[in-house]
């Protein structure tokens, strides 16, 4: 990859300002480095922010039609690099080949297409009496994105920023950074104006913090762990910039007593295991009626055990490796805590699958008889680990499902849509999914409580990048 040791600043690929410092990019299926990236510094962030600040007045003044033309060109440029993006994602973060091509890379196309449609129908001005309500781009946006759904989160920030007329500086995850370099190349090929989009690779404590603290950055949009999100918010506080966050989750999946148990458990298990459990909204706490608990465990075991774990390039693999040694070790500690604290190990457990002696592979693991105070029921594991918790009454399970510092998503399964809707209305989460619906690019995505603030997707995401101005007396009374 020709630009891996450079940054994209002010419309050109440039060398690091303070000399070349590199970081290995690790293939999690082999534990070996297969590429290197340059690590940025405060000076690189300063250059990128200065370019974005200089480009902002002209880009903010562009018409909706001009920005739509740019976004349509970007869509075509991204499609031209689609297979390369998918293969890169599979290599650097371990996504199985089929998942990388269908979903991981596909999210980029879906979100950009939806934002184009959103912008086509979006009104930036409205007259209320004699007052003009204007929605204007917030300014320079710092973007910090994660490794688990990399292109998804890049596009969820870049697309609405372009639609709004903002300029930006992106720091992708240093663990899975190569897809972002391809994306920057696609932006250049699409003819993005100089300074509108800038890319600086680096780690969180250096580049991420420099972006969050920078006085010329008007907004920081962060996706990652709640722990890291708190640090970003603190770093941003001194400059009173807008902080938009999509953070962690510990989502409840409530199976009501009228549910098709086999279907509900099977789909719930597969939802947790997909992407090796590395999804912030995975339904990792499955609540089942106490009288159905043993049946649910048997179905979960029968579902999980045939799921194939292996190299991402292998056909029919459902779970690839988790992304890094750090993640692997964390997941192993939490699996051990579940055993130590008395949960029933239904399947899986510590260590790699028996036929794999290398790579960050985790056994699909299911615990039964889990209680609310257990560590595996409280902490976000971010791996292929499901906790099944029995309950006695509907009122009880609603209270227990909401008893978490997180509030990203909830899942409700019921044979009665009316009943599911009533339970959904009581969930303290940004999203509720009834009976495993199809994904909707137009639904707002984001969380309550410590799962963050603000929303992504469609017009909800676009609004986050806009300031509201009221011009009183604009029209004759």
280 is catalytic: yes
Q: Which helix (H) or strand (E) holds 135?
A: strand 131-137
Instruction: State how far the Cα of 54 lies from the Cα of 270, in Å rounded to an integer.
Output: 48
Catalytic residue among 166, 174, 185, 280: 280
Residues in CB range of 99: below 8 A, 6 or more apart: 274, 275, 320
318: helix, strand or coil: coil
Beta bridge partners of 198: 169
Eight-state DSSP code of residue 105:
T
How would you label 449-463 residue by residue, b for 16+ Cβ within 10 Å and e otherwise?
bbbbbbbbbbbbbbb
Helix (H, G, I), strand (E, B) or coil at 60: helix
Q: Are 276 and 320 in contact (CB under 8 A)?
A: yes
The residue behind tokens 């709004």 is 164
200 Cβ neighbours under 8 A, 6+ residues apart = 7, 9, 40, 44, 45, 48, 169, 170, 171, 207
Choose the catalytic residue: 92, 185, 209, 246. 246
Annotation marks residue 418 as catalytic? no
Q: Give the whole-angstrom CA distance, residue 341 versus residue 271.
A: 25
Q: How far apart are CA 347 and CA 86, in angstroms?
A: 31
Q: Which residues are catalytic?
A: 246, 280
């Amino acid at each position: 990859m020709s630009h891996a040791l450079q940054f994209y600043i002010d419309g050109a690929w440039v060398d690091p300002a303070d000399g070349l410092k590199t970081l290995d990019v690790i293939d999690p299926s082999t534990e070996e480095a297969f590429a290197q990236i340059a690590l940025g510094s405060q000076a690189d962030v300063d250059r990128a922010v200065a370019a974005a600040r200089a480009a902002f007045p002209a880009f903010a003044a562009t018409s909706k039609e001009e920005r739509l033309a740019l976004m349509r060109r970007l869509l075509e440029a991204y499609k031209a690099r689609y297979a390369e993006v998918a293969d890169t994602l599979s290599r650097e973060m371990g996504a199985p080949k089929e998942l990388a091509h269908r979903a991981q890379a596909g999210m980029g196309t879906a979100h950009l297409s939806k934002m184009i449609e959103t912008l086509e129908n979006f009104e930036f001005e409205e007259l209320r009496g004699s007052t003009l309500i204007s929605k204007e781009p917030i300014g320079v946006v710092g973007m910090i994105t994660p490794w688990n759904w990399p292109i998804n989160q890049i596009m969820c920030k870049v697309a609405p920023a372009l639609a709004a007329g903002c300029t930006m500086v992106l720091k992708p995850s240093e663990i899975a950074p190569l897809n972002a370099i391809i994306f920057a190349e696609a932006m250049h090929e699409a003819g993005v104006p100089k300074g509108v989009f800038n890319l600086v690779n680096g780690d969180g404590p250096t580049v991420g913090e420099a972006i969050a603290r920078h006085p010329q950055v008007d907004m920081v949009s962060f996706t990652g762990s709640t722990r890291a999100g708190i640090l970003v918010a603190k770093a941003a506080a001194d400059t009173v910039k807008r902080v938009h966050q999509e953070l962690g989750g510990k989502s409840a999946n409530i199976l009501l007593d009228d549910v098709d148990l086999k279907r509900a458990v099977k789909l719930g298990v597969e939802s947790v295991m997909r992407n090796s459990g590395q999804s912030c909204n995975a339904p990792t706490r499955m609540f089942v009626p106490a009288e159905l608990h043993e049946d649910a465990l048997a179905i979960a075991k029968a579902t999980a055990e045939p799921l194939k774990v292996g190299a991402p390039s292998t056909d029919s693999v459902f779970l690839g490796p988790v992304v890094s040694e750090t993640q692997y070790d964390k997941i192993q500690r939490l699996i051990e805590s579940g055993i130590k604290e008395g949960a029933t190990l239904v399947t899986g457990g510590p260590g790699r699958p028996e036929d794999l002696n290398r790579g960050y592979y985790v056994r699909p693991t299911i615990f039964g008889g889990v209680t609310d105070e257990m560590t595996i029921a409280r902490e976000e594991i971010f791996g292929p680990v499901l906790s099944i918790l029995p309950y006695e009454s509907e009122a009880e399970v609603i209270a227990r499902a909401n008893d978490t510092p997180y509030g990203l998503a909830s899942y409700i399964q019921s044979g009665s849509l009316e009943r599911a809707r009533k339970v959904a209305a009581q969930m303290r989460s940004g999203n509720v999914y009834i009976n495993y619906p199809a994904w909707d690019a137009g639904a707002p995505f984001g969380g309550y409580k410590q799962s963050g603030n603000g929303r992504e997707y469609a017009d909800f995401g676009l609004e986050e990048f806009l300031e509201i101005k009221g011009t009183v007396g604009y029209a004759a009374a």
